[in-house]
Amino acid sequence: MNGSGFRAYKLAFLLPGLLILLAIILFPLIFTIRVSFSSWDAITPGLNNAGGINYVKLFGDVRYWQSLGRLSLMAVGTVLLQYLLGLGLALLVWREVKLRRFFRVLFLVPMMTTPVVMSVVWRTIFHESLGPANDLLGMVGLGPFQWLTSASTAIVSVMIVEVWQWTPFMFLLLLAGLLSLPREPYLAAAIDGAGPIRTFFNVTLPLLAPVSIGALIIRLIEASKIMETVYVLTSGGPGTATETTGYYIYIRGLRDFEIGYASALSITYLVIMIVALTIIAKLLVKVFIGERT
């Protein structure tokens, strides 16, 4: 086949998808950057040139930085929990277990469900007097807890829902990783007389390292966007106790209509997330694969 004909085929595969994604994503992103340098709000809408005033303002915005700290805590906390639980569950149904195909799908069910819709259900579960959470825990002598109305428990409640929703995704990624492991190292470990615990730490965990890193990063990326569950469960409350960055920007931008300022907040949020996730990814590679590379 001649060169130019081949080139046309090459481009026909890639270009439609690439151009459409560029068109849909790039314009909004550039527009947001431009708007972040304007003072667009409800009273004076429109693009003007306000310089970097929004960026100066956000440095002193305590509520913003607190929401970022809270988001980091929630994201890292829930993802670590999801990893431990997901790995445990994947190991449980990896091999000889009765009904293992049934349990594998059952464990996946929460990630198939709509987060906000299930959060609506969780809200009824967490209802202090009419919901089952306090009722059932009361039977074993625990509680009652103020699930959604006290600052310290509300954040735990949001995290419980996040763990319920997304542990399945972690489980799916880790199970697929386990199922694709080679058999030879296990035979070698068995010949050496290694027990199950030593086999796990010396064979399974190192072999699973690349998949673990991938799964943790994918989940951290998704968790860095937590806001929908917060919106439904607590609306950021009580006070601002569960307000995540996305939700705070939503309030400033689409509720108070401070478009210019909210745009500056979003761009800063995006940059911080990209930098943080890149650093975390590098650290994870070092921790899991470290000495060997």
Partner 1 sequence: MMPKLYGLLKYSAILLWSAFVVAPFLWALTTSFKTANGVTGGPTYIPWLQYEPSLTGWRSLFGGAGGIDIVKPYLNSIVVTGSASAISLVLGTLAAYGLSRFDYRVGPAKNADVLFFFISQRIMPPIVLAIPFFLMLQFLGLLDSLLGLILVYIALLLPIAVWVMIDFFNNIPRQIDEMAMLDGCTPFGAFFRVILPNSLPGIIVAGLFCIIFGWNDFFFAFTLTFTDAQLLPVAVVALNSSVTPWWSLSASALISVAPLVLIAFLVERFLSRGNLAGAIR
Residues 70-99 that bind partner 1 (CB under 8 A): 85, 88-89, 92-93, 97
Is 65 one of the binding residues for partner 1 (CB under 8 A)? no
- Is residue 113 near partner 1 by the rule CB under 8 A? yes
The values of phi and psi at residue 55, to 5°, are: -70, -35
Contact string (CB under 8 A) for partner 1, positions 33-52, x = contact:
--x-----------------
Listed residue (85, 128, 92) closest to 238, CA to CA: 128
Query: Encoding tokens for residue 50?
Result: 């306000």
> Cβ closer to partner 1: 224 or 242?
224
Tokens of 233: 């469960």
3-state secondary structure 42-58: CCCCCCCCCCCHHHHHH
Q: Which segment (48-56, 57-65, 73-81, 242-250) binds partner 1 by CB under 8 A? A: 242-250
Shortest approach of partner 1 to residue 201 CB, angstroms? 17
Q: How far is CA 73 from the centre of its chain?
A: 12
Encoded one letter per residue, x for contact with partner 1 by CB under 8 A and - for no contact, window 154-173 reads ----------x-------xx
Q: Taking CB under 8 A as the rule, does residue 194 contact partner 1? A: no
Residue with tokens 């990326």: 221
CB atoms within 10 A of CB 34: 14
Task: Show the binding pattern over residues 124-143: x = contacts partner 1 (CB under 8 A), - = does not.
Answer: xx---xxxx--x--------
Q: According to the binding rule CB under 8 A, does residue 264 interact with partner 1?
A: no
Question: Does 211 interact with partner 1 (rule: CB under 8 A)?
Answer: yes
Q: Output the CA angle 268-272-273, nearest 5 degrees.
A: 115
